Amino acid sequence: MPAKTGAEYKRRLKEAGNNVYIHGERVDDPTEHPAFKNVIDSMAALYDRQFDKPSKMLYQSPTTNEQVGMTFKQPKTLEDLVARREAIQEWARISGGMMGRSPDYLNAEVMAMGVANDLFAEDDPMFAENARNYYEYARENDISLTHTLIHPQVNRAKAQSEQKDANVALHLKEKQKDGIIVDGVRLLATQGGITDEILVFPSTVKPAGESDDPYSLAFVVPNNTPGLKFLSRESFDQNKSTWDHPLSSRFEEGDAIVHFDNVFVPWEKVFVCGNSSICNRTFLETNAVKHMSHQVIAKNVVKTEFILGTVLKLMDSIGIDKFQHVQDKGTEIMLNLETMKSHLFRAEQNAKLDKWGTITPDFEALNAARNWYPRIYPRMTEIIRILGASGLMGIPTEADFDHEEIGPILNRGLQAKNLEGYERVHLFRLAWDMTMSAFGNRQTHYEYYFFGDPIKMGMSYFDSFEKDQYKQYVDDFLAETKKNKNFAGV
């Protein structure tokens, strides 16, 4: 089965019978459940887009010659890399970048680890073979994935092995002839309830010591594996109309705690087994972080375009666009957009072939962009809040506008410079849902913590930044001034 349609995506979810819980009950069929059905429809629309625009979204599989998803492609030339990015942005435009976990994100990880897998072979060549095979399987079957990287927030001052109950976090319980038994809890699988399989990988920013080897695992299992449960947080999709909740009624991806109750993982689905050293190096040494960052920055360019468009329309609508501080705030977002686009351009133009024959974007540009976006995203939502002011609370629903008596009052009373009240409130509801609804607030939280704790990311950025050349520059400058004690500026 090559690239799949939306109908096929939904059929698989229906048949899988994944163990998903929400609001205190087990979900029978996520495709019909009010917490999941709308976002499942949006995911289905992404998969259908593959067939609406096949030349952009699909390519010929190197092994089966079937048409498979472009975002699985191992880029071997700059043209391939750009084509991948265009497919990523095609998908991102459907949600204005509000679906952070459209399938391309983890397709990038699976591709990178499937190709650059030598690291996994350090323990056993079988693990590298497994990564290679999984890439092919995921690509040829268009598998949708969630992932989980983080141990539960019990006591962050201690290693997992030192916790008061050292068996809470997911750990290796037993090695058997055919596979391993794992048990415990992991956080936080976005789209946990609405995907085919789950990747369990180490954190990208929390290195583990040897005492945490039993917690240092990487594997993949289908979401309906016996013993696996997805414990979803409350849904932010309130099943209101798309007019009332333009974003949360369509793109609420959901986040789930994942419980593994003595889950059996066959050896062929294991990539790392009880080795903290390999886990700590996984994302960097497979280049996965580079390809995943490329996807994220491409998506964030689209998201920033969507935010900018919303802000500009909001300013126009209430006639504040000529005020100095308002323009300055619009400029902040424009500068963010242009800077993100420049990072992306530099990352692609400086891409190099790695030793596995993959054209790999320049990580210096991507690393700067991925460290910067969590710092600017909360400010962009603050700008919307500041400029929208009371308009973000004066947002009656569509039903109010439809009401015979109060509808006309609202339509007149909430009119804008060039818009009827109905049109203005529609726009302001979008701005509210982007930033202030439960959905909008989650977006801000999501962007802040997306790649891991931004403070820790900033620390490792500082540590790994090549600083000597800049210090040397100043040393040379100072040396010059020592030689010319009487330098008079001529």
Ligand X SMILES: Cc1cc2nc3c(=O)[nH]c(=O)nc-3n(C[C@H](O)[C@H](O)[C@H](O)COP(=O)(O)OP(=O)(O)OC[C@H]3O[C@@H](n4cnc5c(N)ncnc54)[C@H](O)[C@@H]3O)c2cc1C
- The footprint of ligand X (CB under 6 A) covers 147-150, 153, 156, 187-190, 255, 442, 445-446, 449, 452-453, 455
Taking CB atoms within 8 Å and a gap of at least 24, the contacts of 65-68 are 66/2, 66/3, 66/140, 67/2, 67/3, 68/2, 68/3, 68/139, 68/140, 68/142
Distance (Å, whole) CA 161 – CA 171? 10
Task: In angstroms, give the least distance from the CB of 85 to ligand X.
Answer: 22
Distances (CA, A) of 285 to 289, 356, 453: 9, 12, 21
Please identify, using beta-carbon distances, which residue of 374 and 391 lies nearer to ligand X: 374
Please identify, using beta-carbon distances, which residue of 348 and 447 lies nearer to ligand X: 447
Please identify, using beta-carbon distances, which residue of 153 and 486 lies nearer to ligand X: 153
Please identify, using beta-carbon distances, which residue of 194 and 347 lies nearer to ligand X: 194
In Å, the largest CA–CA distance within the chain is 87
H-helix segments, 66-124: 78-95, 104-115
Tokens representing residue 467 in the block:
């600083």
β-bridge mates for residue 169, sequence order: 185
Task: In angstroms, give the least distance from the CB of 149 to ligand X.
Answer: 3
Q: How many residues does the chain have?
A: 490
Distance (Å, whole) CA 311 – CA 64? 47
Distance (Å, whole) CA 25 – CA 234? 11
Please identify, using beta-carbon distances, which residue of 150 and 296 lies nearer to ligand X: 150
Task: In angstroms, give the least distance from the CB of 52 to ligand X.
Answer: 27
Distance (Å, whole) CA 28 – CA 18? 9
To the nearest 10°, the Cα dihedral for 13, 17, 23, 25?
160
Task: In angstroms, give the least distance from the CB of 403 to ligand X.
Answer: 36
The answer to whether 410 and 398 are in contact (CB under 8 A) is no
Please identify, using beta-carbon distances, which residue of 455 and 478 lies nearer to ligand X: 455
Q: Which residues of 89-103 are buried (b: 16+ CB within 10 A; e: fewer)?
A: bbbbebbbbbbbbbb
Task: In angstroms, give the least distance from the CB of 78 to ligand X.
Answer: 30
Task: In angstroms, give the least distance from the CB of 311 to ligand X.
Answer: 23
Q: What is the DSSP string of 64-79?
A: T--EEEGGG----SHH
C-alpha closest to that of 343 among 315, 365, 313, 311 = 365
Please identify, using beta-carbon distances, which residue of 149 and 365 lies nearer to ligand X: 149
Task: In angstroms, give the least distance from the CB of 408 to ligand X.
Answer: 41
Please identify, using beta-carbon distances, which residue of 88 and 145 lies nearer to ligand X: 145
- Please measure the distance between the N-terminal and C-terminal CA atoms of the chain and give it in whole angstroms: 75
Residue whose pair of structure tokens reads 């509801």 in the numeric block: 429
Q: Which residues of 447-483 are buried (b: 16+ CB within 10 A; e: fewer)?
A: beebbbebeebeeeeeeeeeeeeeeeeeeeeeeeeee
Please identify, using beta-carbon distances, which residue of 371 and 397 lies nearer to ligand X: 371
| DSSP label of 101 | T
Task: In angstroms, give the least distance from the CB of 146 to ligand X.
Answer: 6
Please identify, using beta-carbon distances, which residue of 100 and 114 lies nearer to ligand X: 100
Task: In angstroms, give the least distance from the CB of 67 to ligand X.
Answer: 28
| DSSP label of 437 | S
Tokens representing residue 416 in the block:
């804008």
Tokens representing residue 226 in the block:
């016996």
Task: In angstroms, give the least distance from the CB of 254 to ligand X.
Answer: 10
Please identify, using beta-carbon distances, which residue of 57 and 166 lies nearer to ligand X: 166
Please identify, using beta-carbon distances, which residue of 255 and 348 lies nearer to ligand X: 255
